[in-house]
C-alpha cells in the first residue's frame, strides 16, 4: 500500500517539475447537479494530463545504473507523454510502446517530449506485452502506467492539493482506468480527512474496476473501443485494486453519448478542452449518476485534455445530436415545384436553421410522384425539433 509519507515525499520531489493545477468552482455545473462543484484541471499540466506526476516521481527514485539504461513503458497516450517529459528533463532515454489505435495527437505529443515511440497491438494489453519484451531485451526499467507504488504516490499529490484548495471538501469524483489516479488521491485524502467520499467513474464499455470490486478479485475484461481511450484498460492493477477496495466507496459507469455530451459541455460552458477519459467525472455528475452528492462540496477531476482534433469534430457532432441541437430528418413530399420551399419556410418559421438538404427521386419506398428529402437542422434542443416535426405533419409532410 502507498502511505501518506510516500505521497508527501513525492510532492517534495516533483514540486519543481510539475504544475500545481487550478481547482475552479463551476457555477453552471453546480446549478445542474445541485452540488457545489469544483473542477480540478489536470489538463493544464504541460503534458496535458496528471500522468507526469507519477512518472516524474518514479524516475527520480531510480538509481544511477537504472537511469543510464533507460526506461520503457506501455501507454495509450498520457503516461507516454508524462514519462517522456520526465525522462527528457532528467536526461534519461524513454521508449514507449503505444497501441496502433492511439490518437495521433498523443503519438505526436510523446515524440515532441523526446520519447521513442513503438506502435504495437490493438490495445494497452498487447502494448504492455511488447514493452516487457523490450525490457528483457535491452535491460530497461519498466515504468508501469498505474500499478507502480512510486507512480501511485506521484498521482496522490493531487489529493494533497485538493485538500488545500477546497478545505470543505466532501467528495472526490475521479476517472478509473487502471486505477492509479484514484488510488493515489484516495490514499492521500483518506489519510488526512477520512470522511471525504471517493467515487470512481468508468466507461460503460470497459468497467474493469467495477467488475473486479464486484467479484472481489482482479477480473480481466475483453478489450473494447471507447471515446475514453485514456481509461481503456481491461485489467486493473493488483495494487490499485487493493487500494480501491479499501477506499473507493462506489464506481459508476457512463456511456459513449454521455461522455461526448460532457466533452461538449466542458468546451462550450466551462471553456476547457477535455479528452474522453478526462470528461467522465463530469459526465457522471451531469447525467445524475451520483445524485446522492446533492448539497455536498465535490471535486470532479478533469484528468487530461489530449484529444485528437479530428475526434473533436466528431464528438461535437455527436454531442449536438444527443441533445437535439443537430437533428437529421427524412421527409416524403410531393415531387412538384414549391414543396421544398415549403419545408424550408416551416423550418425558418420555427427559428431553426437548415445545415444540409438533399433530395432523392425516385426512392424505393415512396410512391411515384413523390420524393424523399433528407435534411439536417440546427435547433435549440429536442423539444424544438419535436415542434418542427409536428408542424411538418400538420402540413401533410410525412416524416420517416
Q: How confident is the model at residue 366 (pLDDT cuts 50, 70, 90)?
A: low
At residue 145, the 3 state secondary structure works out as coil
Ranges 1-5, 25-29, 288-292, 307-311: which has the least confidence:
307-311
Q: Answer whether residue 20 shows pLDDT above 60.
A: yes
Domains of the chain: 4-48+148-320 (3.40.50.1100), 51-142 (3.40.50.1100), 324-399 (3.30.70.260)
Grid cell locating 236: 486493473
Range 226-230 average pLDDT? 88
Predicted local confidence at residue 365, as pLDDT:
66
Q: How confident is the model at residue 340 (pLDDT cuts 50, 70, 90)?
A: confident
Helices (H), 302-379: 309-322, 339-349
Active-site residue among 49, 183, 234, 303?
303
Rounded-to-integer distance, Cα 168 and Cα 324, Å = 37
Q: Answer whether residue 364 shows pLDDT above 60.
A: no
Q: Percentage of residues in the chain with pLDDT exceeding 70?
A: 98
Quote the pTM value: 0.88
Active-site residue among 40, 51, 130, 289?
51
Predicted local confidence at residue 321, as pLDDT:
83
Range 281-301 average pLDDT? 97
Cβ-count burial 336-369 (b if 16+ within 10 Å, e if not): eeebbeebeebbeebebeeeebebeeeeeebeee
Predicted local confidence at residue 362, as pLDDT:
60
Rounded-to-integer distance, Cα 342 and Cα 394, Å = 12
Sequential DSSP letters for 76-115: SSHHHHHHHHHHHHHT--EEEEE-TTS-HHHHHHHHHTT-
At residue 132, the 3 state secondary structure works out as helix
DSSP 49: B
Rounded-to-integer distance, Cα 204 and Cα 365, Å = 37
pLDDT in tens, 178-200: 999 999 999 999 999 999 999 99
Is 271 noted as a catalytic residue in this protein? no
pLDDT in tens, 201-223: 999 999 999 999 999 999 999 98
Is 51 noted as a catalytic residue in this protein? yes
Amino acid at each position: 500500500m502507498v502511505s501518506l509519507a510516500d505521497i508527501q515525499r513525492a510532492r517534495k520531489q516533483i514540486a519543481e517539475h510539475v504544475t500545481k493545477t487550478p481547482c475552479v468552482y463551476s457555477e453552471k455545473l453546480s446549478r445542474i447537479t445541485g452540488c457545489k462543484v469544483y473542477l480540478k484541471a489536470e489538463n493544464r499540466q504541460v503534458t496535458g494530463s496528471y500522468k507526469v506526476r507519477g512518472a516524474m516521481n518514479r524516475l527520480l527514485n531510480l538509481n544511477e545504473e537504472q537511469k543510464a539504461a533507460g526506461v520503457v513503458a506501455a501507454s495509450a497516450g498520457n503516461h507516454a507523454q508524462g514519462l517522456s517529459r520526465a525522462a527528457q528533463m532528467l536526461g534519461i532515454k524513454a521508449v514507449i510502446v503505444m497501441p496502433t489505435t492511439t490518437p495521433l495527437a498523443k503519438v505526436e505529443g510523446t515524440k515532441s517530449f523526446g520519447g521513442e515511440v513503438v506502435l504495437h497491438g490493438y490495445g494497452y494489453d498487447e502494448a504492455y506485452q511488447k514493452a516487457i519484451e523490450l525490457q528483457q531485451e535491452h535491460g530497461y526499467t519498466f515504468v508501469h502506467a498505474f500499478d507502480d507504488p512510486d507512480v501511485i504516490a506521484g498521482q496522490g499529490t493531487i489529493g494533497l492539493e485538493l485538500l488545500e484548495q477546497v478545505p470543505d471538501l466532501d467528495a472526490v469524483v475521479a476517472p478509473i482506468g487502471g486505477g492509479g489516479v484514484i488510488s493515489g488521491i484516495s490514499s492521500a485524502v483518506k489519510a488526512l480527512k477520512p470522511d471525504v467520499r471517493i467515487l470512481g467513474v468508468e466507461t460503460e464499455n470497459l468497467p474493469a474496476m467495477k467488475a473486479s470490486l464486484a467479484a472481489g478479485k482482479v477480473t480481466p475484461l475483453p478489450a473494447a473501443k471507447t471515446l475514453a481511450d485514456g481509461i481503456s484498460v481491461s485489467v486493473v492493477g493488483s495494487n490499485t485494486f487493493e487500494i480501491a477496495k479499501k477506499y473507493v466507496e462506489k464506481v459508476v459507469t457512463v456511456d459513449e453519448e454521455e461522455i461526448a455530451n460532457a466533452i461538449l459541455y466542458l468546451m462550450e460552458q466551462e471553456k476547457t478542452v477535455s479528452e474522453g477519459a478526462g470528461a467522465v467525472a463530469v459526465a457522471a455528475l451531469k447525467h445524475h449518476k451520483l445524485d446522492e452528492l446533492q448539497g455536498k462540496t465535490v471535486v470532479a477531476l478533469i484528468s487530461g485534455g489530449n484529444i485528437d482534433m479530428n475526434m473533436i469534430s466528431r464528438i461535437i457532432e455527436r454531442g449536438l445530436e444527443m441533445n437535439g441541437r443537430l437533428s437529421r430528418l427524412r421527409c416524403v413530399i410531393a415531387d412538384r415545384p414549391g414543396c421544398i420551399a415549403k419545408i424550408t419556410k416551416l423550418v425558418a418559421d420555427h427559428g431553426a436553421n437548415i445545415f444540409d438538404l438533399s433530395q432523392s427521386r425516385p426512392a424505393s419506398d415512396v410512391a411515384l410522384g413523390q420524393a424523399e428529402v433528407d435534411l439536417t437542422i440546427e435547433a435549440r434542443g429536442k423539444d424544438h425539433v419535436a415542434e418542427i416535426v409536428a408542424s411538418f405533419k400538420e402540413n401533410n409532410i410525412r416524416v420517416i
